Structure 1
């Protein structure tokens, strides 16, 4: 499972870097904003999943407790 969390983290960081390096016209500005938001969400999600007890929180949110 840790592999997938690292993968999400690296994709998020790559999107943040790609968003930071893009400069240009209005269409590209929209793309930069989307990359920043999506990258930030992926980084935050992967860092949350590395915390102890995050599996229990996710299972409660998805009603997987039986």
Structure 2
């Protein structure tokens, strides 16, 4: 199961980097990429913690 959480973290990092460094969209779209990326990274870190209450 840990592999899926690392993949989830990688997707979050990709979205965060895209929101920070790509200049092809409006500011609102960049903010959405950044917020979704941060939420996905936080969720994957919580799921990777041993003994977490969010085990699926």
**Does the residue aligned with 1:58 lie in a helix, a strand or coil?**
coil
Number of residue pairs matched by the alignment? 55
Unaligned runs of 5+ in 2: none
Runs of 4+ in 1 over 4 A off after TM superposition: none
Higher-Rg member (1/2): 1
Aligned-pair RMSD on alpha carbons? Answer: 1.5
Deviations 1:15-61 (A, max 9, x none): 0000001236xx6111100000000000000011111111xx126xx
Q: How does 1:1-66 map to 2 (within 5 A)?
A: 1-23=1-23, 28-54=26-52, 57-58=53-54
Report which of the two has the higher share of helix: 1
Unaligned runs of 5+ in 1: 60-66
Return the TM-score normalized by structure 2: 0.87
